[in-house]
Amino acid sequence: MNKRRALLVGFGVGLMAGAALLQLMTYGQKLSSGTALPEPLTVAQLQEQAEGSGYGMYKLSEPMYTQAQLDAAAAKAKEDALAAEGNKSGQAGGETAAPTSTSVATPTPAPSASASTAPAKATEAAPQTRLGLYVAAGDSLEKVATGLKALGVIKDKAAFVKAAKPYSGKMRVGLSVFEGEITYEGIIAELLRDKNK
């Protein structure tokens, strides 16, 4: 067995070296033909692909509302319109009351306009900035902290890295969205949130 051991070890090392060289040659051939690195998509191409797959793209700076929020705003606008109508009919009936600011300032909105004016009022009341950072697979905590500082979510990169160090291996891949004033704990929670749900 000792006589053949050197032969078998040499044969195994030769097979591994040959396989490695074959992989290296295949990779080099792909690089020279230009098929290894895909070209980045333009925004128009990305929009086209998203629409083709049944998805929509939107900017994070644009306010987004759920269907429930939109329905509540439409119902409130409808109630305001009915109250304004009631005030106008009460004055037309011969009452000598002074006109109120609601009946004068609020015209009766059309049904199509009520849904569009209510969200605008909501954004005026609480303007919040939505910022997004995509965390790719293999991104380091330093890279994420640099992105957060560039967005203006954090002010001190070193302090954030120190606070988030225990969680650096648990960051989830996907788009992390940050709104309003947020603490380091909130940022870490958003980075650890499962983006696939």
**Taking a C-beta distance cutoff of 8 angstroms, is the pair 64, 122 a contact?**
no
In sequence order, what are the beta bridge partners of 131?
A: 178
- Residue 73 CB contacts under 8 Å (≥ 6 apart), including other chains: 65, 115, 118, 119, 121, 122
Is pLDDT above 90 for 16? Answer: yes
CA distance 2 to 5: 5
pTM (2 decimals)? 0.36
pLDDT tens digits for range 68-116? 888 888 889 888 888 888 777 766 554 444 433 333 333 334 444 444 4
Amino acid in position 11: F
pLDDT band at 52 (very low <50, low <70, confident <90, very high): confident
Query: Residues in the chain, how many?
Result: 197
**Cβ proximity of 111 and 137 under 8 Å:** no
More confident residue, 188 or 101: 188
Q: How far is 161 from 195, CA to CA, in rounded Å?
A: 22
* Mean pLDDT, residues 117-124: 43
CB 134 within 8 A of CB 174: yes
| Burial classification of residue 117, based on how many CB atoms lie within 10 Å of its CB (0-12 exposed, 13-18 middle, 19 or more buried) | middle
Average pLDDT, the chain: 75
